[in-house]
Chain A
């Protein structure tokens, strides 16, 4: 799966989680830049992503993701 395709899917998931169809994500987007993407919404998003992609992020990654690009790259690694 390409980075672009994963990014598009992450955007859809975050739109569902935040109930905001206006959310736009780029590889450089960080959490504080997205309104209402608080720590609880972050966990919900992570669980949603894990469910959708059938993966499990290691604790260290979950705690250290800085940008959306970090998440996209980790998904590519986990999906092999």
Chain B
């Protein structure tokens, strides 16, 4: 947990939190954002328990396990707090995970949003003999995965996101190197089981909590303590509980759209060694020829990989803008190019102000930013001014930069979609669209010049992953902020009396991908719009008008009398507070709106239509 800064005056600050104060949750979250010890985690967890509801997003998490897991709950709740979540946790009884899932009376009443399965390999593979031939060993692994699949189905039946922990290899070496080769060797069986469960999880929409990888990295001794195992049947050692809680909370937060979206990088002594304003382009340390130069290049390479998976890149540096731009243009070893950055703030302004400007220009929240800077003064300044921004505690040695940023898990993902792959280019295209807006005269001319087409169609298996991701990641244009699992979305889409539409926006600069989703459930002779989300990338493009035109026609064809909708305000969805009246809905009680279809006329927009085959 090296990316977290050490806590300062922990006891004093904890004691000063006034639980009646509306800022209490934020104050506790700031304490959670530090490197806490075992007892400090416990104290913070207790303070969180005393806090009245509000200010944090509630999530209910059931942890079902082969072993004792009570000690994992405080770090899980604290790691949730770190991400703005208030986790209510239920620990299954020791070894009772099957009974709890098969007879889910108590578990059903708890109504978990997420079920975490932390199981022991011996429960699944313990009966495989050491001399089993390859076929028998493979069949045992396949049977174990089928068994897991049945447990996942049960958990999903509770309406929960399912999170499967990989199996820890706790067996002592038996043959030595041959443990990886002999089909019936426990180490090989566990490795095979983990590989097979990952394949199955991908298809089943189950999230993988890769404890085995973390334990392989930290060392088995860090994750499993034979004394605690024999004393209390704790499979995961209390010393590893903080790391475990962090991994679990990351997945839970990612499934709820709370992962960060943008990596903001400082330049001098971060993306390269030295100060370019003083040393000149030829004087900075970057690339082949020195270990330090390769370390900085390594950070550039990692940032580029993140961009490939959909993370937005930005620059925030105190520098002369012309000199900074020239470095990206002219330095022969520079891996990142100016065009890789969706926002570029090189100037002498305060970095906190620049970060706010970056978030605004990208239309994302401050809580979507990660700010990487080698300078501890700048880090402290940003943490103080903008606690929503994640600021990793970068080590002094650039050789360790990548590891520190990577291990912080800021960009935890639950899916990798075509939209993710295309995103970086889309943001760059947005900058071109913005410059077109600056040159074009009126708004209508600008929209006309974009040459927009909306491609729309039903939600189906082909787009289910992206549709679910959009529902769960979108915070601004989100009318109800009801989060959905893939299974729930699929159920609404499959309802012949409901309606589930997805919209893709294409313009002259490129394909924005699927950018809006509407889910409707039957409600008497009307349809209830239970989810409507739209990506912030396409705000102000008349897509909400055209999407409603399409919906109204589809609903009318279905024989519906009206579309009903509710608006549930959150901290972040102010942009749609007046959406329904703006679109012609009539008020129907507190936060309720209705659009009678008999009287409704479509509004013309500058968007052409194309219906999916």
Contacts and interface: CB of A to CB of B under 8 A. Distances in A.
Given A16-B43, A63-B231, 5 more contacts: A43-B71, A43-B234, A44-B71, A48-B42, A59-B227
Chain A interface size, under 10 / 10 to 19 / 20 to 34 / 35 or more: 10 to 19
A24 B292 CA distance: 55
Given A43-B232, A44-B71, A16 B227 contact: no
Contact of B37 (A44, A51, A56, A59): A51
A23 interface: no
Interface in B207-238: 226-228, 230-232, 234, 238
A16 B39 contact: yes
Most A CB atoms within 10 A — which of B43, B232, B234, B239? B232
B230 A40 contact: no
B70 interface: yes
A17 interface: yes
A37 interface: no
Contacts of A13: 39
A8 interface: no
A20 to B, nearest CB: 11
A47 B237 CA distance: 10
The secondary-structure label for the interface of chain B is: helix
B164 to A, nearest CB: 26
B381 interface: no
Interface string A39-54: 1100110011001100
B230 A44 contact: no
A38 to B, nearest CB: 11
B46 interface: yes
B38 A48 contact: yes
Interface in B183-228: 226-228
Q: Which 8 A-B pairs have the closest CB atoms?
A: A47-B238, A59-B227, A51-B38, A48-B39, A16-B39, A43-B232, A19-B46, A62-B231
A57 B46 CA distance: 27
Contacts of A17: 39, 42
Nearest to A57: B227
19 contacts: A16-B39, A40-B70, A43-B71, A43-B231, A44-B71, A47-B38, A47-B71, A47-B228, A47-B239, A48-B42, A51-B37, A51-B38, A57-B227, A58-B227, A59-B226, A59-B227, A62-B227, A62-B231, A63-B231
Interface in A1-55: 13, 16-17, 19, 39-40, 43-44, 47-48, 51-52
A55 to B, nearest CB: 12
B230 A59 contact: yes
A26 B358 CA distance: 59
Contact of B228 (A40, A43, A58): A43
A56 B227 contact: yes
Most A CB atoms within 10 A — which of B39, B42, B70, B238? B39
A43 B71 CA distance: 9
A40 B232 CA distance: 9
A47 B37 CA distance: 11
A24 B4 CA distance: 35
Nearest to B37: A51
A63 B227 CA distance: 10
Nearest to B74: A44
Contacts of A39: 232
Contacts of B232: 39, 43
A44 B73 CA distance: 12
A5 to B, nearest CB: 18
A16 B41 CA distance: 11
A59 B38 contact: no
A64 to B, nearest CB: 11
A73 B152 CA distance: 49
B93 to A, nearest CB: 13
Nearest to B238: A47
Nearest to A40: B70
A44 B227 contact: no
Given A47-B238, A59-B227, A62-B227, A16 B37 contact: no
A17 B41 CA distance: 11
Contacts of B39: 13, 16-17, 48, 51-52
A13 B37 CA distance: 13
Contacts of B238: 43-44, 47
